[in-house]
């Protein structure tokens, strides 16, 4: 069982990760083994892991059937044939770790895990090169300019190997058995600790020790770097690493956003889109600037001479393919996105110029888009036009209301004037009704008597004075207001 109670042996401390126990890393397509998985030697002589659920996984299938298996004192797990000859051993298949007595021979490598809980292959590797140099690279980028640590022993020639002894000493040995160099000083540890050298998920190669007390933790005796931002490629595309309180933090440049906020080491993407080159003007593109950052400049497609930063910016502006430029010492290197292996490097004195678009990108965005300044201007004009139309409509309504009021007043005035200047005849009966049968006499003169009366006119009633004059048997009446 992979997770059984550990026996008294010190090496039992190494049983929990199967990658250390037998030098096997499960493929990325398979889930990690659980603690109740079983390691067994089949009747065919194959070494197999049998999980409680799912299919069996072959670890070692050899031409000659194995008849037995054993964990040696050096923590090397081996398969024997019927003649007790070793036909397979875990030391020949290192993953991310070597143990005491397990050499990392020429052209062999260790590859980091994805994380402390995900033991599939990760981002970093350390390789024992044929020239004798022990070098760390990001996975998929082996070559000059991509290493971030080395033993600087490329002069020793073919056949060198990395070794870890039982005293915790890491050293390189040449093909004749001569010790070339030590990577660490001798460990002064009490008791009988065990050691392992591991390239961790963060890309740093470390030497660990563990005391005989199983409750203790692993202790770091040596590491290839104290700066956790040194591993190239720790942060994903278009992002760069900054050390904050000793811990690496991945940042996005201006106008970039994280691909996944929960996993910032996956990198960044643009939140803008560059418009087509044709018909552009000086306002089509902007440039954001980063100082003292290095990138993988092997992605450069053009290197031109530029006397100043402004000249480099102008060169990138004129080139439709240029999405970023690196300016350093009158050299202008033009690149297309994505940028890779970004990290702060105060010694580089490199200025990074990132060409950013003038409009936000969105789903379904075409190659040709309206610039954001044109869009803003259009919206402003539309708003202004709407305001003018609303004001004009209000003015027209007020004008029409005032015209109607004017016409109404004019009609009333005209009616009043007509009433004032026009002559109207009343019958005797109408005058009698108006004066209530001539009962309210208000005066008398030479012309005759005067009575108060009320007559009906357009818009209401009016009080008038009615004068009477005798003429035969009938009275002649005259109205006076």
10 three-class SS: helix
Task: Return the sign of the alpha-carbon dihedral for residues 346, 351, 355, 360.
Answer: positive
- CATH architecture entry for 240-357: 3-Layer(bba) Sandwich (3.50)
Task: Please say whether the beta carbons of 350 and 343 come within 8 A.
Answer: no
Does position 278 have pLDDT exceeding 60, yes or no? no
pLDDT given at position 82 = 83
Task: Please say whether the beta carbons of 16 and 22 come within 8 A.
Answer: no
Nearest to 273 by CA among 200, 351, 355: 355
pLDDT given at position 369 = 42
pLDDT in tens, 344-402: 887 878 999 998 875 444 434 433 444 565 777 788 888 888 888 888 888 888 888 87
Does position 285 have pLDDT exceeding 80, yes or no? no
The C-alpha atoms of residue 321 and residue 335 are separated, in whole angstroms, by 8
Q: What is the mean pLDDT of residues 430-453?
A: 79
Task: Please say whether the beta carbons of 32 and 26 come within 8 A.
Answer: yes
Task: Please say whether the beta carbons of 204 and 230 come within 8 A.
Answer: yes
Task: Please say whether the beta carbons of 41 and 69 come within 8 A.
Answer: yes
The C-alpha atoms of residue 109 and residue 135 are separated, in whole angstroms, by 9
Q: What is the mean pLDDT of residues 107-128?
A: 91
Task: Please say whether the beta carbons of 299 and 335 come within 8 A.
Answer: yes
**Bond preceding residue 96 cis, omega within 30 of 0:** no
Which ranges of 9-151 would DSSP assign to H, the alpha helix? 18-21
* DSSP secondary structure, 341-373, as one string: SEEE-TTT-PEEEEEEESSB--TT--SS---HH
Q: What is the mean pLDDT of residues 151-170?
A: 90
Q: How confident is the model at residue 308 (pLDDT cuts 50, 70, 90)?
A: very high
Q: How confident is the model at residue 423 (pLDDT cuts 50, 70, 90)?
A: low
Does position 305 have pLDDT exceeding 70, yes or no? yes
- Topology of domain 428-480, per CATH? Phosphorylase Kinase; domain 1 (3.30.200)
Q: What is the DSSP letter of 436?
A: T
pTM: 0.64
Strands (E), 117-274: 121-128, 134-138, 149-150, 161-164, 170-173, 179-182, 194-199, 205-210, 219-223, 240-244, 247-251, 256-258, 268-270
Position with higher pLDDT, 173 vs 39: 173
pLDDT given at position 416 = 59
pLDDT given at position 282 = 47
Nearest to 275 by CA among 379, 353, 364, 370: 370
Burial 414-439 (b: 16+ CB within 10 A, else e): eeeeeeeeeeeebeeeebbebbeebe
The C-alpha atoms of residue 132 and residue 139 are separated, in whole angstroms, by 20
The C-alpha atoms of residue 436 and residue 425 are separated, in whole angstroms, by 18
Q: Would residue 16 be called left, alpha or beta, if left means φ above 0 and alpha means ψ between -120 and 50 degrees? A: alpha
CB atoms within 10 A of CB 328: 16
- Contacts within 8 Å (CB) and 24+ apart, 243-249: 243/344, 248/202
Q: What is the mean pLDDT of residues 129-137?
A: 93
Task: Please say whether the beta carbons of 125 and 104 come within 8 A.
Answer: no
- Sheet containing strand 179-182, edge to edge, reads 161-164, 170-173, 179-182
Phi–psi pair at 327, nearest 5 degrees: -110, 125
Residue 281 CB contacts under 8 Å (≥ 6 apart), including other chains = none
**What's the chain's average pLDDT?**
79
Q: How confident is the model at residue 197 (pLDDT cuts 50, 70, 90)?
A: very high
CB atoms within 10 A of CB 1: 11
- Topology of domain 10-223, per CATH? Agglutinin, subunit A (2.90.10)
Asked if residue 467 belongs to a known ligand binding site, the reply is yes
Does position 273 have pLDDT exceeding 80, yes or no? no
Task: Please say whether the beta carbons of 297 and 333 come within 8 A.
Answer: yes
**In this predicted structure, which of 147-151, 174-178, 184-188, 314-318 has the lowest mean pLDDT?**
184-188
pLDDT given at position 206 = 96
């Amino acid at each position: 069982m992979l997770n059984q109670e550990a026996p008294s042996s010190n090496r039992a401390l190494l049983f929990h990760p199967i990658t250390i126990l037998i030098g096997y890393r499960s493929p990325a397509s398979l889930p990690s083994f659980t603690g109740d998985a079983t390691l067994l030697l089949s009747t065919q002589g194959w070494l197999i892991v049998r999980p409680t659920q799912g299919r069996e996984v072959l670890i070692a299938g050899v031409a000659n059937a194995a008849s037995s298996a054993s964990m040696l004192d050096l923590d090397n797990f081996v398969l024997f044939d019927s003649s007790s000859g070793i036909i397979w051993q875990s030391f020949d298949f290192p993953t991310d770790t070597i143990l005491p007595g397990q050499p990392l021979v020429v052209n062999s490598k260790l590859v980091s895990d994805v994380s402390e809980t995900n033991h599939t292959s990760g981002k970093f590797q350390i390789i024992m090169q044929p020239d004798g140099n022990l070098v760390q690279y990001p996975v998929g980028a082996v070559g000059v300019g991509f290493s971030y640590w080395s033993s600087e022993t490329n002069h020793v020639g073919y056949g060198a190997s990395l070794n870890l002894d039982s005293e915790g000493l890491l050293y390189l040995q040449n093909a004749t058995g001569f010790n070339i160099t030590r990577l660490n000083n001798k460990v002064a540890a009490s008791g009988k600790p065990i050691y392992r050298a591991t390239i961790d998920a963060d890309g740093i190669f470390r030497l660990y020790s563990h005391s005989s007390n199983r409750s203790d933790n692993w202790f770091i005796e040596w590491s290839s770097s104290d700066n956790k931002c040194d591993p190239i490629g720790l942060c994903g595309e278009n992002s760069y690493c900054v050390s904050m309180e000793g811990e690496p933090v991945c940042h996005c440049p201006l106008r970039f956003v994280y691909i996944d906020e929960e996993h910032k080491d996956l990198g960044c993407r643009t939140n803008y889109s560059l418009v087509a080159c044709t018909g552009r003007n000086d306002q089509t593109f902007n440039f954001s600037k980063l100082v003292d950052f290095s990138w993988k400049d092997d992605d450069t497609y053009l290197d031109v001479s530029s006397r100043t930063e402004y000249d480099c910016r102008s060169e990138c502006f004129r080139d439709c393919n240029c999405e970023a430029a690196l300016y350093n010492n009158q050299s202008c290197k033009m690149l297309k996105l994505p940028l890779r292996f970004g990290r702060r490097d105060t010694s580089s004195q490199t200025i990074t110029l990132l060409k950013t678009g003038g409009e936000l990108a969105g789903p379904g965005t075409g190659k040709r888009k309206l610039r954001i300044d044109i869009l803003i201007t259009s919206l402003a004009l539309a708003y202004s036009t709407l305001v003018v139309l609303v004001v004009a409509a209000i003015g027209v309504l007020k004008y029409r209301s005032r015209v109607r009021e004017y016409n109404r007043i004019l009609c009333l005035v005209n009616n009043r004037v007509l009433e004032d200047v026009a002559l109207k005849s009343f019958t005797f009966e109408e005058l009698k009704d108006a004066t209530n049968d001539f009962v309210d006499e208000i005066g008398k003169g030479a012309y005759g008597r005067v009575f108060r009366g009320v007559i009906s006119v357009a818009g209401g009633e009016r009080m008038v004075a009615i004068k009477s004059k005798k003429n035969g048997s009938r009275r002649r009446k005259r109205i006076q207001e």
